[in-house]
Amino acid sequence: MRGRAQCFAAAIALGSLLSMASVTAASASPVTAATAASTVKAKPDLHYAGENCKTVHSKKNWSARICVITNADDALGDQWDQALVTYSIKAGSLARVTLKKIYLHACEGYCDNQNPRSNVSAGAKGRSASISNNFAFDPDDTVQAVAVDPCVHWSNGQSACWPGTHKDTTISTY
């Protein structure tokens, strides 16, 4: 827990910078611009691997791939990360994507579910979309993205879900 107060002070300062950057998307990093807004965007560039993916099928056998990923924004050279759920389809077009809960599970001496979002539903177009929670500052932690009941909904009325709680591979931010 070394320098935790200093880390929180830095997190608040950098959080303000990220908030300002998201207002002016042209000056924000590609990852921040793609994930800071509450609207659904295409999959941003990822810093970490370790995604946990599953192909799901609708009742009429339409398929979608849903992935749970820890996404790190290293544009500022710091340890900002977030939980990210990506959705992709090969046929048709998306109408919306949903999930019951998304958060980043972070541990350093104790564990905390950071920046949870519940009952998220977002309109989508095209063949890929993502939903994320807000970035969190996690120095010297282990983190894991967590999503509960993510679903994809096609514009033709088909839908497919990945029931349950899903986590990606735990990664270290130090």
Provide the whole-model pTM: 0.72
Tens digits of per-residue pLDDT, 40-79? Answer: 444 455 566 578 999 999 999 999 999 999 887 666 555 7
**What ranges do the domains of the chain cover?**
4-172
Q: In a 3-state reduction of DSSP, which class is residue 34? A: helix
Residue pair 91/62 in contact (Cβ under 8 Å)? The answer is yes
How many C-beta atoms lie closer than 10 Å to residue 141's C-beta?
A: 24
Tens digits of per-residue pLDDT, 85-118? Answer: 999 999 999 999 999 999 999 988 889 999 999 9
CA distance 43 to 86: 6
Six token digits for residue 142: 């282990």
DSSP3 helix / strand / coil % (the chain, rounded to 5): 15, 45, 35
Give me the mean pLDDT over the 147-161 stretch: 97
Backbone angles phi, psi at 84, to 5 degrees: -140, 130
Can you name the residues that pair with 148 across neighbouring β-strands? Answer: 101, 165
